[in-house]
Chain A
Amino acid sequence: MTLQAYQEKTAACWAGCKQTHAEFMANPNLSGGQKLAVHYFTVAMVLFMAQLLFGLLAGLQFIFPSFLYEILDFNVNRMVHINAMVVWLLYGFLGSVYWFLEDESGVEIVGLKWGQLAFWVLTGAVTIVVLVYLLIQIGSGTDTSLWLINEGREYIEAPRWADIGIVVVMLTFFYNVAATFSKGKWSGIAGVLTLDLVALAGLYLAGMFYVTNISVDQYWWWWVIHLWVEATWEVLVGCIMAWSLMKLLGVRRKVVQTWLYIEVALMFGSGILGLGHHYFWIGTPEYWFTIGGFFSALEPIPLVAMVVHSIYDAGAHKFKNSNHPALAWIIAHAFGNFLGAGVWGFMHTLPQINLYTHGTQWSASHGHLAFFGAYATINIAFFYLAAQQARGNVWMGGGLANGWRWKTAAVLLNLGVMGMTVALLIAGYEQSFIERAVEGSTWAGYFAAQNHPWFMQAMIWRMVFGLMTAVGGGLLFWDLLEIGKGEQRPAAVIDSEAVNP
């Protein structure tokens, strides 16, 4: 292709993108906040695809260690895999809150322009960070590397300049939420949500400094990771669930909000001190055995309560709802959260067990089911709510055109992740026994476990189910682009108990 032909092609492509975006911005079915939400959801889906791709690359390297050796090494693929996950889930949360902010507050978003600007700034920054991860990868042992390339701390590898950018964007987001609720109605959901966002953003600061002492380093690192996923993120999805149950099923506000407070009490009451289950082996004092073991063992209780609550509500409303795919994913969320975080978490949370499972594929098994079950699911539910509204609040009940697509995607994704989880669980048990209990955790012991046929078989099954997950993900993306297009019937109307008890 000549340079000129190339330039023409890119120009045409760019013009096409601008055209599509302009058409989208003129969509009469969406409010300003909802349009912003769809921006976040779109990038979230793209990053989800990237997460799956790099997961497959990393998984393959367990089976073929020379695959992409010194081109895209395991640490690079894994970093992109888990960073894409953290970022797409956060994008999904931001989008979900923007989605219901106007509905919940009763007024238009106060600083919509700032919110839009923040979206483009954040997306630009994420693009640069990913390109640097892939092209530069690592630096020399200096502060400059930590500021510009990567910080080398799992999950929060983003270089320091990006950390600062993230905090600025979060502040803009927080301003929009707080100011919009202040101008409109302050509901119970609004109050919990606002305070939770302060905590969520504040915790990020605990991961933004460098220390030599690795015990101190990991102490604060866990404040970010654990107090995010087992406290503030849980409460955030609690708020999102509360709103969804009112909208999708028509549950009464009073019931939903009372439950939300109960869940906050149980979740924070167990999750904050449950942090101690990460302080067994990093140099921290022995009292964390008791505190961490006890409180983290209580963490499943709110997760059980949430299942009971949502299934009860769904049953009480005879599963009548206006968006079948979204409700299906909300049910997947309730069970996934309970299983992945509650059951899988509980199984290795006591120090007597964790001594052997700590840092094995056991943790990876739990990590996959928990992040997918608790957080990917609820975001996907919101993607479906957005697709429905964007296409004119159309029918999304039974007899949907091409309804096989969302169902197949849901089955493949859920089965795929469950299959990977079980494969990794087997690998984790094998490692705990052979590497840890029998061999005594030396390097030779580590490799004895890695080379064992049981481990290798588990790695192959993980790839099989990983492929299934990836196919499901692709199908989901396709479905979200198409679902409801050309649908003429309006969405089912849900009676709210408040109006019609």
Chain B
Amino acid sequence: MSAEEPTTNGAKPGERTAIGISFGNSNSSIAWTTPEDKAEVIANEDGDRQIPSILSYVDGEEYNGQQAKQQLVRNSKNTVAYFRDYLGQDFKSIDPTHSHASAHPQEHNGTIAFTIQDKEEGEPSTVSVSEIATRHFSRLAKSASDFLGKKVTSAVLTTPTNFSEKQKAALIKSANDAGIEVLQLIQEPVSALLAYDARPESKVADKIVVVADLGGTRSDVAVIASRGGMYTILATAHDYEFAGVHLDKVLQDHFAKEFIKWNGIDPRENARSLAKLKLESEATKRALSIGTNANFSVESLAEGIDFTSTINRLRYETIARKVFDGFNRLIEGVVKKADLDVLDIDEVILSGGSSHTPKIASNMSAIFPPTTTVLAPSTTPAAISPSELQARGAALQASLIQEYEAEDIDQSTHPAVTTVKHLTHAIGVLSITGDSAKGVFTPIIAAETAVPARRTIHIATPKEGGDVLVKIVEGGSHIKVTKTEPKPKENGNKDDDSDEDSSDEEPEEQREKVWKVGNVLAEAAIKDVKKGGKVEVMINVAADLSVTVTAREVGGKGGVRGNLAAP
């Protein structure tokens, strides 16, 4: 593997075989785009689509993925796990917590390394995290190459939104050293969103999306404005306290206590027992995402004693409540951080392995209003597996840009291209409700839309048609809270759920998003609209924020057109 010539300068665009790679601390996935433009995750030789990001060395032989993970029990010292976040960091700034039960990271020549027996004979070697990552990339590339039947040359990789330039550079170097040209690094939540938006059934829409990436060792949440298929991240949060391993921990403690009750031995006190406990707890946890009951079964858990138990989902959800609540607070917190309300969120994408958990999805449905789509396997049958989103998005992006010269990609993704003005207010038109003569704001272009932008709506006219006014204004939204007193008890049926009534004394809060009409931009008159006619209004905001308004009767001739100068 290391004998291969690194192709740092990249393959020729026409000769590339490009894939998408998501490389997490816990798992990695590889994906490609089929000739039908469908992204698919590739299973490795073990048949795994989620490949544990672990390398293990036994008698000089290298194992990776699930096989390496099993080595955490017997061969933990020569097993390297949870290392992605060490790349490009100095020793001072890494959190070694998750590597505690495997090879420990250490400071070495200003970088981070592991001391492992990776050769059959001789002294253990000190292998840098960069080299470990390279070996891992090589295994991933090989699995993909084997599947595709041709050598993978290039890839789009996903990174957390808080990866520093140094971390990115280190990641690229590790991949390059494995003979993989990195076409582009893309943000993990954006990749997940692209995976959904690129499905043929998806329509381009203006929406605000929350992507909650709940992984093994960290949870990352982003609020993204999606405007005409372009994405802008509005806020993010990163959390290392509530993630998959913390759910594992709940089950570990649960079964450990049960084991202690029967046997008087704490399996957490012995490293090997703990490793077994951990692995089986994770397996049980995953089983609980599908079934309402799951087994826990470990041969010789501690001191030669086998242990078998079961747990049902409800019990699990009860004992893991603190972690679930932690996810909830994290996600609600980012929405606030983006200066938004849950009512502003159109879509919640649950991504990352932990997002398979039904309780997390149902919590989202409870936190967000019914108008919000929660994209998770348990709430939306057509949902994409949360474990596959990032790799799929990366594969789609790879297929979009693999034809480009590296220089071209670099220039297209240049900050001078990506830094653009965004509208701070929605622009819309005033329409009227049946009863009031006052205008109601109807958005045409949403706030946080990057300019230039153009949107068109068709809007009704009064029943009789005639001359109508097209008033173009800016609008801002806010949340209106109305407290409704609980319904008074109805007379007559006193016996009926009278208990419920009395316990339900809290006034209910009704929250709704309302528009406030702001700045008036322009007025136009459309005359002689025929009975039942509609008016088409098009707003075109240029890069300098000058505006062109075009309005005409749908199907009619001519129309009105006017310009507003840039501010």
A interacts with B:
no
Interface positions of B (Cβ within 8 A of A): none
